[in-house]
Amino acid sequence: MDSYSITYTPVIAATFLGIGFISLTLLIANLLAPRVRTRGKERIYECGMPTIGQGWSQMNLRYYLYAILFLIFEIESVFLFPWTVVYKGLGPFAFWEMMLFMSMLLFGLVYAWRKGVLTWE
């Protein structure tokens, strides 16, 4: 075996052990869980009191837009933090590459702002 496969053997083994343990736990829980469905279990229950009105409510779509924008900028920070750690050894090309990446994200934010995504009505 070459050094590459020897280096990653513990990582691969831990991954398979983790997946196997989780799969086995879910399988055992599924086999041992009771399957009795009664009418009381099917009823909507909240805070110890019967519900008033509909059991289902609709959520405003604006929450999803905020969540997607948050995820986009969260992923940007995931790429930005490792880049800052190794910045000195990368040179000017990496700097301009990151500026291009950040300018595309800034363009996306300005576009969303101009389209009115960030205004709550």
Express the helix, strand and coil content of the chain in percent, nearest 5 each. Answer: 70, 0, 30
Going by C-alpha positions, the residue among 54, 70, 52, 74 that lies closest to residue 62 is 70
Distance CA 118, CA 92 (A): 34
Confirm whether pTM is higher than 0.85. no
Residue 14 above 90 pLDDT? yes
**61-121: CATH architecture:** Up-down Bundle (1.20)
Going from N- to C-terminal start, the domains of the chain cover 1-35, 61-121
Q: How confident is the model over 37-90, as pLDDT tens digits?
A: 887 777 766 676 666 766 677 777 778 888 888 888 888 888 888 888 887 778
